[in-house]
Structure 1
Amino acid sequence: MDILATIATTILEQMQKPTLSFLIAGMMLAALGSRFEVPEPVYKFIVIVLLLKVGMNAGISIRDADLMSLLVPGIGACLVGIGIVLIGSRTLARLKGVSEIDGLATAGLFGAVSASTLAAGMAILDDEGVAYEGFIGALYPFMDIAALVTAITMAKLSAARKTATNVTINAGGTMTAGGPRRAPAEDTNMIRDILVETLRSPAISALLAGLALGILARPETVYASFYEPLFRGLLSILMLIMGMEAWARFAELRKVAHAYILYGITAPILHGLLGFGVGMIAHELTGFSAGGVILLAVMAASSSDISGPPTIRAALPEANSSAYVGTSTGLGTPIAILSIPLFIALAEVFIRL
């Protein structure tokens, strides 16, 4: 009972903090039919500034980081991204009313990372005075790319299997279905194209640019004078936008199977617990901080809202965007952000913050 009381108290306290309250305010504005809106160019500017800030902070920290301390959580993040897609392929993609390609596209977004959710998690931990590794932002591409490549590859292989048209009657009376066999080089080229497309996406590009600047240059002055002071204010506006967007996307979910609603509600929590477990392993092996464990769980709980949708749309044009974008933005993102206090509470119980 003490554990449940601790978790409940932490969640209630965090709901009053700026990051979560701005998200809830955005949802309320949309629910009340407010005409408040933030222009698209402003939204893109905010995202770029936040990702450059996260990337530079990670790059600056990587300079002095121990290789093993970075490698273990990096591999863990990659495995979590792949694992989330594999779980989705065995659950959502097999439910009634869900096509395999739509299910995999949705699982890919849920395995990838939301920049806004990661930024929200960092802000909440900063407010609480919970320390975390500065290189945590460098784990973003590990999980993001692994999930997107896995989901798109599985979806394309599934589509290729379904296009088999040649049927051969064997001597024993059995039938063998087959079509033109894909050459290994074709699969290699497909994976390479997915990697290139993902790396070129705005979110990943901004993050990697900041990462490179942090490692190779000396951006501390501009980081401290421009990016750091703007971070919290811009994040609050982004949370308003995300809340309004989430409410607007609820309407799209009515067009698809109820399975997506169930998945959108439960997946962020389950994926976050998976990330928390992997973070605990890294904690035991390398001394990965409690804050790092929390943020790894936050990344696992999140679903991509910036880099993922255009990547999925370009690679899988046949997938239903109402399904994967509606589920991700309408349910996945707000639930992931609102679940951050849960992971903080778990860290208090198991790691003793």
Structure 2
Amino acid sequence: MKRLLTILFAVMLLTAISASAQTFTGCFAHHPKYIEGKFEVSYSPGCTGHDEPELDPVSSAPGSARDLTWTVVLPTGGSARVSDVGPTFWFGGAVTDPKSVFGQAFVELQFYPDSVVGKCFNDGAFSVSFSPNTFTACSPVFKLNQTGNPSKFLETTAFNAMLEDSANPGNPLIMHAGETITIHYYVTPANDGFHITVTDLNTGHSGTIILNSSSEGPLMPVFDTQQTGNALAWGTVNDTPNSFVWEIGHASIFTGGDAFCVPGQTNCNSYDPASWAGFSPIQIKSVTFGDGSSPKNFAAVSDLGGKAEVAQTCATYGGSFCIYPWFTLGTSGFHYGVDYPDTRKDFGQANQFATTEQCGGPSGANTTFCSTILK
């Protein structure tokens, strides 16, 4: 028995060493509106998008969409790795872009779990190496281009940059599981683009990205207030300008090649409750606006209809690989995944997400998913 355990440990160690020695690449674009024959969007080659359930801090305070700070404790792997359930989570928002459809683009500050970023590519892609319980980030900004056909569009990238350590320029800001970080989105009098400053409160290290595109110019926030309905014009949801999203519907980038996947597939840990329960969840401690105020409410929305998506590929809802993860409020903050030991409210679990498009947008009535007020 002892010899068997030794062999198993050696195999696990060799697997980890092998993974850490490899470079993995991916590109996860923003999920656009798609109406067949009217508004058909294709991704750039090598990029894909899928399922983007989000948490929205809601406020009517002047400037709330132009200056906000998220305080977050990073998740920690356990019996499951954080990267098992999806290759990225992000904090993002709608920004101006004169060369994009509707004059709008979307920034995603993408955190890559169990990863050290090697490069953030101009086309929105990234390369990483495996490093357990480590987080690094890139900031792709996605836009829509005309194609010459009035009903067909191509999603490309207006900007992308690595979140660098200000104390070690040219190298990624490396953050670790369990550390508390702040993500501050803000503008300056220079109007030189949305600024993003991430600070690791445990190490004191920080990094700043300024969304100033060499091809598009400064990319500024589209909206002034963080109100529901101030939504990306080419998006699929009726939400707030800025949000938190955990990108799901992809296999692990390290063991599954970040393949597009759906509920019911056994390589799709995004929809597996045991995988989410196997690590300590993200803790969204607070959101604070520039005037010192806090959100009036928090809302949630899924761009694929939550349980409605599961129903398409699972015979019944529930069990292994057939749940839709949900937001909870625990004693330590908001989480995403399943009910955790500190959960106080789970807001009906997956029932918190609207399953049909009943809100409007530029494409007309009943063309976007409505957000649901959680608290």
Q: TM-score per shorter chain, which class?
A: under 0.3
Q: Which has the higher helix share?
A: 1
Q: Which has the higher strand share?
A: 2
Relative to the length of structure 1, the TM-score reads: 0.27
Relative to the length of structure 2, the TM-score reads: 0.26
Higher relative contact order (CA 8 A, sep 6+): 1
Q: Which has the larger radius of gyration?
A: 1
